[in-house]
């Protein structure tokens, strides 16, 4: 699924040059369930940005499937994100003025799906995370767990190849955490999509097939 070759990312912070990723070589196969752990400032977020096609490396290459996204123009990169990558965020990142149903539909908007099909697929995605009866609710009318389930529905509605989750349970209590993890793992298991979870939580990391540790810009296997 992913091939990272001598991937380096540096950026300037004031007068300081930060080496967020240093010559990272990494391959992640399709359908893997990977957990990424590491201390704050170690490069977790930067690695996730690279995997998600949200930023470009300073040097080295990264390919998603057959596409080298290292120097891809913005427009094409946005299309790859729209088609192949699903995101789940720590703070859910739902659009506050849109209902659950409409939030899920935003993921289909860039794919040029007709309104009718869009509504049907969004309703199905919501049903698959157990929120069929909450479709018309605004995010503020939902609990944290429900909001994250809407976010998961938004990520999976486009049937992506990979699901990137950034601390998906960081803002939830333990009970809800397990509920969300079960949904994510179920997607991985049933649909065979690649699941990459960035987490602080060892309990979450332990459930993954493969655990990566990133510290000072260097990735090691555990």
Partner 1 sequence: MFFTYLRRELAGRRRQTAIIAIGMALAIALVIIVNSVASGVKAAQASVLESVYGVGTDITVSQSPTPPEEGEGGGGPRFEFDADAGTTTDGTTELSQSRLMAGFGASTFDASALDTVLGVDNVAAASGTLSLTNTTFNGQMPQMQQGGDGTVPSGPTTTEGTDGEAPQGGPDGAGGSAFDVDSFSVLGLDPSADAIGPLSAVSLAEGRTLDADDTGANVAVLDADYATSAELAVGGTIDIGGTDFEIVGTVTSNAADSASASNVYIPLDVAQTLSGEEGMLSNIYVQAASSTDISQVQADIEAALPDATVSTQEDLASSVSGSLSTASDLVSNLGLWLSLAVLVAAFLIAILFTISGVTRRTREFGTLKAIGWSNRRITGQVAGESLVTGLIGGAAGIAIGLIGILVINVIAPTLSGSASSSGFDLAGGQGGPGGAAGGDASGGTVTRGFGGPMSQTAAATTEVALNAPITVSVIAIAVGIAILGGLLAGAIGGWRASRLRPAEALRSVG
The site for partner 1 (CB under 8 A) is made up of 45, 48-49, 52, 54-55, 74-75, 78-83, 85-87, 89-91, 93, 95-98, 102, 105-107, 109-111, 115, 118, 154-155, 158, 166-167, 170
Least Å from the CB of residue 22 to partner 1? 19
Least Å from the CB of residue 113 to partner 1? 10
Residue 221 near residue 191, CB atoms below 8 Å: no
Apex 179 CA angle, 173 and 181, nearest 5: 95
**Cβ nearer to partner 1, comparing 46 with 128:** 46
**Cβ nearer to partner 1, comparing 83 with 222:** 83
Tracing tokens 């990169």 back to the chain, one arrives at: 77
Distance CA(190)–CA(74), nearest Å, equals: 32
**Cβ nearer to partner 1, comparing 40 with 221:** 40
Least Å from the CB of residue 8 to partner 1? 17
Distance CA(168)–CA(92), nearest Å, equals: 8
Distance CA(65)–CA(52), nearest Å, equals: 13
Least Å from the CB of residue 11 to partner 1? 11
Distance CA(16)–CA(206), nearest Å, equals: 35
**Cβ nearer to partner 1, comparing 121 with 158:** 158
| Closest among 99, 139, 142, 89 to 119, alpha carbons compared | 99
| No. of helices (H) and no. of strands (E), the chain | 7, 10
Least Å from the CB of residue 30 to partner 1? 20
Least Å from the CB of residue 15 to partner 1? 21
> Residue 63: which residues within 8 A CB-CB, separation 6 or more?
2, 3, 69
**Cβ nearer to partner 1, comparing 52 with 60:** 52
Cα radius of gyration rounded to whole Å, the chain: 17
């Amino acid at each position: 699924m992913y091939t990272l070759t001598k991937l380096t990312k540096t950026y300037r912070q004031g007068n300081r040059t930060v080496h967020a990723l240093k010559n990272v070589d990494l391959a992640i196969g399709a359908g893997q369930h990977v957990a990424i752990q590491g201390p704050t400032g170690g490069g977790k977020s930067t690695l996730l940005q690279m995997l998600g096609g949200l930023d470009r490396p300073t040097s080295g290459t990264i390919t998603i499937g057959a596409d080298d996204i290292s120097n891809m123009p913005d427009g094409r990169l946005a299309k790859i994100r729209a088609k192949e990558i699903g995101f789940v965020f720590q703070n859910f990142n739902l659009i506050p003025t849109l209902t659950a149903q409409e939030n899920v539909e935003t993921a289909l908007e860039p794919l040029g799906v007709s309104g009718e099909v869009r509504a049907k697929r969004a309703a199905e995605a919501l049903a698959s995370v157990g929120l069929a009866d909450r479709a018309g609710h605004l995010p503020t009318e939902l609990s944290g767990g429900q909001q994250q389930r809407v976010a998961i529905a938004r990520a999976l509605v486009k049937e992506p190849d990979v699901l990137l989750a950034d601390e998906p349970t960081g803002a939830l209590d333990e009970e809800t955490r397990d509920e969300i993890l079960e949904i994510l793992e179920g997607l991985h298991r049933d649909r065979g999509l690649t699941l990459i979870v960035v987490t602080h939580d060892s309990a979450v990391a332990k459930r993954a097939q493969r655990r990566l540790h990133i510290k000072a810009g260097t990735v090691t296997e555990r």
